[in-house]
Amino acid sequence: LPACKPEAIWEYLEAADIFAFPSLKEGMPNALLEAMISGLPSVTFDIPAFSDLLQYDSKALVAVESFNYQKFFDGLMLLSEDHALRESMGNRGKKLIQESFSMSQNMRVALHSLMSMAKSRTVRELGR
């Protein structure tokens, strides 16, 4: 929503039942991440950023073949007609984003990587 003030985004997400993200060229889109962390079931095209996420939970959102507008529409219709599916997908998406994008989780991964690099370097230096 171009006229939507950033502080009002969460109100719009709370009022929604489904989030449609029809973009074909994105990195990791914050709008979709915000919708998913809000618990909204979402429909998107299968842009590369989501291929990585969906390897952890393929049922966290509806990702359809890019440019296949009929399947995009079908995904929206499927969610609009099935409350239990919306709820399940919303919960799965929220959990996936919490686990994949939490600051504490990302800091643990970064710290582990840095410690491994430091340890590897120390071992190499001792061998000289």
DSSP bridge partners of 44 = 21, 63
Query: What digits encode the pLDDT tens for the residues 60-107?
Result: 999 999 999 999 999 999 999 999 999 999 999 999 998 888 788 778
Rounded to the nearest 10°, the torsion over CA 62, 64, 68, 71 is -40
Residue 16 contacts residue 22 (beta carbons within 8 Å): no
Q: Does 126 score more than 60 pLDDT?
A: no
Instruction: Return the amino acid letter for 17.
Output: D
Residues 6+ apart with CB under 8 A from 56: 96, 99, 100
Query: What digits encode the pLDDT tens for the residues 39-51?
Result: 999 999 988 877 7
Token reading at 73: 């529409």
Mean pLDDT throughout 14-30?
89
pLDDT band at residue 25, thresholds of 50, 70 and 90?
Answer: confident
